[in-house]
Structure 1
Amino acid sequence: MRIIKNIFNLIFISIEMGILLICLANAWVFALTDGRTYTKISKIPPREVALVLGTSPKMRSGVSNPYFTKRMDAAALLYHHGKIRKILVSGEKSKGYDEPAAMKNYLIYQEGVPEEIIMEDPKGFNTYQSILRCKDVYRKDNVIIVSQGF
């Protein structure tokens, strides 16, 4: 019986530690981004480039992905308000699937962004890779990152 109680206590403490770590990580992210996230275009400082993080244009159901649409709207808004001069669309490109091309096409044909200002990064498989490649491959380090609020 004592062994079961010890196992239960260990599991309970592990869960508590996990929750604590999640809370601390969240607090750390909020502290790092405080004053550096924007919801109003007028507050955003001008930069040369916006890095648009990749996401699928469609959800599994075939419906338009709201994250994709909002990111494209935000990138176009930045361009049309003179906050950026270039857009780097970063996402996954594999056989039969091309997020950067879909993003570029949307920006050109739906948002009226000139094709020549859009760069495609087909190896942005996740946020970390997209940001790392933006810095190391494209030599851009002072950019606006376009994503959603969470």
Structure 2
Amino acid sequence: MESHDLTQVEQSRYEKGEAMRRQVLGDEHVNRSLGNATAFSKPLQELVTEYCWGYLWNRDTISLRERSFINLGMITALGKMEELALHVKGAINNGLTPEEIREALLQTTIYCGVPAALEATRTAQRVLTEMGIDTHE
């Protein structure tokens, strides 16, 4: 990001956002997202980094754990399984257990519907397995 594109406040928010994004989602994902940005998609990446991660995720009224719980439900409701996979990893990074993730997804069954919850549970199971977390007990 070129510093002349942003005000000092925006630059600070962007830097905080990138740090938070890396903390929750991991360097690999952030490097890929920012590295793959084109002239067309770069403004969206900047917006997400500055406002989603720099402003919202840096607020201290609720914890990162609580934000992860909220995101699991909302993303399931939206049916965005690629984003859900990413946020399952983030939820683990933010201290949620596989059991808590399961409970969040069970909650979505009632409020979002069985098909959404089934797909979300399959996605979460795949991610947890890929992360080496045993969920078979």
Q: Output the TM-score relative to the length of structure 1.
A: 0.30
Report 1 or 2 for greater relative contact order, CA contacts < 8 Å, sequence distance ≥ 6: 1
Q: Which one has the bigger strand percentage?
A: 1
Largest Rg, 1 or 2: 1
Q: Which one has the bigger helix percentage?
A: 2
Q: Output the TM-score relative to the length of structure 2.
A: 0.32
